[in-house]
Amino acid sequence: KRMNVDKIIPVEKLVKGRFQDNLDFIQWFKKFFDANYDGKEYDPVAARQGQDAIPPPDPGEQIFNLPKKSHHAASSPTAGASRSSATTPKSATPTSRPSSAKKIPVASTPPAKGEKDLESQVTHLTEQVNTLKLALEGVEKERDYYFSKLREVELLCQEQGEENAPFVDRLMEVLYASDEQDRAELAEGDGQEVDQQAHEGAPHDEQEEQDEY
């Protein structure tokens, strides 16, 4: 929108890698580039409007200053402990060794019911997506098949001479009918031609019946 571009980029079609979709996009992009390119080389300074470029960070300068431990604070508890141990009488009760606590095995909690439901839904949706992908591939192959057949019919119509011109013109109208309204008009025209032929043949049939009598 900033570049006043109204074209919608069909990303979903382009990622499939089909030749025709990518060719159409490349042709449009080349046309858009030619229409907006002024022939000048790219000027980065002008693009930045004169501002200096930000230099890349130097990894050598990123040194974090860690706090240093105070030797006096660390030595004071030990000094106090040594003094207190010197004044403690020898008849003090000895400290017993701590008994090794037995490790209690932690039972793994089973998954909740909601998690199982979500997993089953994800599996089901994944299967549906794979099925739809296969169906889409089949439809695309069928579409390409019938498109190639219609293309062959179009080429045969273009090769016909003046002898079958009305039939060829009628067939080309059917091939190039784009929507339901065009098809309805063609069907209505076919019905009128049939009625006209039947109307023209009726007097001839009546004359033959009179001749028989």
- Give the domain ranges of the chain: 162-199
Query: Using one digit for the tens of pLDDT, what is the confidence trace for 24-55?
Result: 889 988 888 888 877 778 778 887 877 776 76
CA-wise closest residue to 148 among 140, 138, 136 = 140
- How large is the average pLDDT for residues 111-118? 80
Query: Using one digit for the tens of pLDDT, what is the confidence trace for 66-93?
Result: 555 554 444 444 544 545 554 554 554 5
Token pair for 146: 């019938």
What's the burial of 94, exposed, middle or buried (CB within 10 Å: 0-12/13-18/19+)? Answer: exposed
C-alpha dihedral (166, 170, 175, 179), degrees to nearest 10: 150
Query: Using one digit for the tens of pLDDT, what is the confidence trace for 148-204?
Result: 888 888 888 888 767 778 888 888 888 888 766 666 666 666 555 545 555 555 555
- How large is the average pLDDT for residues 3-28? 84
Q: The pTM is what?
A: 0.31
129: confidence class by pLDDT, cuts 50, 70, 90: very high
In the structure, how many helices (H) and strands (E) does the chain have?
7, 0
SS3 191: helix
Query: Chain-wide mean pLDDT for the chain?
Result: 72
99: confidence class by pLDDT, cuts 50, 70, 90: low
pLDDT at 121 over 80: yes
12 vs 160, more confident: 12
Place of tokens 């979709």: 21
